[in-house]
Structure 1
Amino acid sequence: MKNRKLFSLVFVSFFVGATSALSVAAGASTSEGSNAEASPVFGVTLPPGYRDWGFVSVAHEAGNNNDIRAILGNDVAMKALREGTLPFPEGSIIVRLAYAYVPSERNNAIFGREQSFVAGTPTNVQVEVKDSKRYASTGGWGYGQFENGKANPSVKIINSCFACHTKLPAASDLIFTTYSK
């Protein structure tokens, strides 16, 4: 009986995982322009498996956003970052996961003062894709912003990405984050 329950649990877990993977794959294979999950202007989508990518860095954005961010890169971007290769090669993708920046009541109770901050609720995911031909007018980078797994339809938000990135020194290849070794 125990083996049957274990088998059932493994099968259900596999089925749920396979179904999720198929859903992601189906969304990723949709042709340009027909994907309702693609960002406006650039057509960028959430890359499959991005949460398993290499760690680039973390950042705290104060001011209006007051969030904490984890920055990840695909294999192409990670290789370039490790080797110090700029500009980034074609196919580089950088993903920024943003969360509300909140004090940890549990940790602070243990420490006896407010000193511990953690990631709270997720706010958005931003994606940058390097394709110099497709995104020639924006320095070779295409942008997307996603909330709850869906592309933010605001063209204003997406266009503001490039406007801020152009303020960076040319040597940065329009990327804010530096690699944390």
Structure 2
Amino acid sequence: HLAVEIFASAEDFLKRAPYDGPSCLVLDLHLSGLQGLELQEVLAERNQQIVFLTGEGGVPACVEAMKAGAVDFLTKPVDDEKLLAAVNVALARSVNSRKTSEVRASAHFRLDSLTKRELEVMRLVIAGLLNKQIADELGAAEKTVKIHRGRVMTKMHVSSVADLVRMAEIAGVKPGTSSGQRLIHDGGH
């Protein structure tokens, strides 16, 4: 079951508060006032899923829309099944995008709970350093590093280094030394 809303113009659509749920915008390329591609650009930060419709589908406009993230670009008259299929793809992407955003927000929230030292330890752990190497890098006791590492694992809600690496990747944390340089290991040779 799909709920449908119709707007007379792009401006009318923009006056409405963003829908808080999975959504898809079926958008005509040629509108009065703000054009379809211009509206797509305005909506880019909302990550709005868009299916374009046009009566005169020029290749350049189609390419521009698709490069900017459109789900599909259909030429009128549109086959009902093709339109429904495109809308379903867009809604699935919308659901996935929301889940990804929630996971990223959760990762950032957890990351914000780390102290500066814990973040340094985390970056060294995800770079593959052992506790002793981290202690040497930071000029700290190995026992202190173990404590920080345990706090990192607890605060990040992970139980393995592999999970920590995934969480760091989601949060945009790069592995490296405390000085910010990425480490390359030669396997101890």
TM range (shorter): under 0.3
Q: Which is bigger in relative contact order (C-alpha 8 A, separation at least 6)?
A: 1
Which is strand-richer, 1 or 2? 1
> Which is greater in Rg?
2
